[in-house]
Amino acid sequence: MPRRLLLAALALIAAALPWIAPPPQVAAQVQIQALAPYALTAYSRPDRAAPIVGVFTPHAKVALEGRSADTAWVLGHSSDGSVRGWIERRHLLLPPEASVARLLVSNEIVFVPPAPRTDSARAVDLTSYPVIPLGMGRARTIYENGRILGASARTVAKVGDCISDNQHFLSPFGRSRYNLGEFAYLQAVVDHFGASLALDSLAAYDGLVTSAVLDPAFANPLACQPGESPLRCEYRVHRPSVAVIMFGTSDLLVMSPAQFNTFMRQIVEDSIGAGVIPILSTFPGNLGFWQETILYNQIVVRIALDYNIPLINLWLALESLPNHGLEPDGFHLGEPPYGAACMLTDPYLSTGYTTRNLVTMQTLDAVWRGAMQ
């Protein structure tokens, strides 16, 4: 067939076919790289009440992937891929020409690995775990990493609620207001940690719960960097090598066992990541919620076992004391007369704070000798 006739035939066939519109052009996703000027918390969704999935380190480069509908939040990941999650846009440093509004709106919820079920904690027998830890587990490895990161071998931190943020807890040791009585062997560890025992912690205060110590909204703005949680702030400012961590008394009133389990594990993760040996402690409890006290303490023990870290079984130490070592309100830890919380002699040892100080110093002594020398 001549070429001219072939082209004419093809034209007739094409004209007979239905017209198909070309696919619309899809706008390419905008690529923006921001900078985290300080430590920034990453959440699983654009909500500060959402689970925390990581923390961007100071000066980390953050590649932005999407935004919330109101542009207040952005979804991004670190340049090395180690952290990915939602960040509040106001905390990021953006290039002058960058427009967050041009990012695609995302409704993604970043995957959060499920925390171990609390069912396994219910099998824990609180009476079978010693008051003072017999083994150090992975404490030595954490300590050595902390030294690389600049942690002070002579500094201990307090992390918790009002029972830890109290003039009676450890502070008298740091101010030379104590009597070791028959426990004179503790003099060496008192001397070692010295004035740090009296430091005012940025991660311990009245009403603090596990979720709040991880939330930058509850950090002291006079000492902490924007976007820094109370826990990370305490670790940055005081550079401890060890932290005595106790929560539960207030937590059992405001959150479920599963939430407590998740937040406590995040506290342990953050501590280990900062090179701080986390010493967990069971808590005295609340006589009005005794079954909850047992369960939440079982969770604490289960976490210590899972992470192979030191545990103070304060709950067991207080069991033989009048009213479980609590004040008549059944909620606050018992205070000794005349402020003698660090007088490790009778009759003061029959009170809650004095007993807590004793077992805490005995544990610090064990950790110092067993993992830090």
Number of alpha helices (DSSP H) and beta strands (DSSP E) in the chain: 11, 10
In this predicted structure, what is the pLDDT of residue 28? 47
Q: Which long-range contacts (CB under 8 A, 24 or more apart) does 88-96 make?
A: 88/40, 88/48, 88/227, 91/36, 91/37, 91/38, 91/40, 91/226, 91/227, 92/34, 92/35, 92/36, 92/37, 92/40, 92/62, 93/34, 93/35, 93/36, 93/37, 94/32, 94/34, 95/32, 95/33, 95/34
Whether residue 292 is predicted with pLDDT greater than 50 in this model: the reply is yes
In this predicted structure, what is the pLDDT of residue 115? 67
Give, as one character, the DSSP assignment of residue 156.
E
**287: Cα separation from own chain's centroid:** 27
What percent of the chain is predicted at pLDDT more than 90? 76
Which tokens hold the place of 36?
């985290």
Q: How many angstroms separate the first and last alpha carbons of the chain?
A: 96
Give, as one character, the DSSP assignment of residue 288.
G
Task: Out of 16-20, 185-189, 295-299, 355-359, pick the least confident.
Answer: 16-20
**Phi and psi, residue 300, nearest 5°:** -60, -45
For domain 118-371, the CATH superfamily is: SGNH hydrolase (3.40.50.1110)
What string of DSSP letters covers 207-273? T--HHHHT-GGGS-TTTSPTT--HHHHHHHHH-EEEEEEE--TTHHHHS-HHHHHHHHHHHHHHHHH
Phi-psi region of 261 (alpha: psi -120 to 50; beta: other; left: phi over 0): alpha
Per-residue pLDDT tens digits for 196-227: 999 999 999 999 999 999 988 899 999 998 77
In this predicted structure, what is the pLDDT of residue 7? 46
- What is the spatial order of strands in the sheet that 32-35 belongs to? 32-35, 61-67, 73-78, 84-88, 40-43, 52-56
Angle between helices 230-238 and 257-273 (to 10 degrees): 20
Per-residue pLDDT tens digits for 136-148: 999 999 999 999 9
C-beta neighbour count of 78 within 10 angstroms = 19
Per-residue pLDDT tens digits for 314-342: 999 999 999 999 999 998 999 988 878 99
Query: Measured between alpha carbons, how far is residue 62 from residues 68, 74, 102, 200, 236 in Å?
Result: 16, 10, 17, 34, 22
pTM exceeds 0.95 for this model: no
In this predicted structure, what is the pLDDT of residue 217? 84
In this predicted structure, what is the pLDDT of residue 53? 86
Omega of the bond prior to 347 within 30 degrees of 0, cis? yes
**240-246 and 277-281 as β-strands: parallel, antiparallel, unpaired?**
parallel
Domain boundaries along the sequence of the chain:
32-102, 118-371
Instruction: Tell me the chain's radius of gyration from C-alpha atoms.
Output: 28
Whether residue 354 is predicted with pLDDT greater than 90 in this model: the reply is yes
CA atoms within 13 A on the CB side of 185: 6
Whether residue 20 is predicted with pLDDT greater than 80 in this model: the reply is no
Q: What is the CATH number of domain 32-102?
A: 2.30.30.40
Q: Which residues pair with 156 in a beta bridge?
A: 242
Per-residue pLDDT tens digits for 225-268: 877 889 999 999 999 999 999 999 999 999 999 999 999 999 99
Closest CA to 262 of 160, 158, 116: 116
| Residue 317 and residue 337 in contact, taking contact as beta carbons nearer than 8 Å | no
In this predicted structure, what is the pLDDT of residue 4? 55
What string of DSSP letters covers 174-201? HTT--B-TT-GGGHHHHHHHGGGGGPPP
C-alpha angle with apex 214: 78 to 134, nearest 5 degrees? 105
Closest CA to 246 of 267, 230, 270: 267
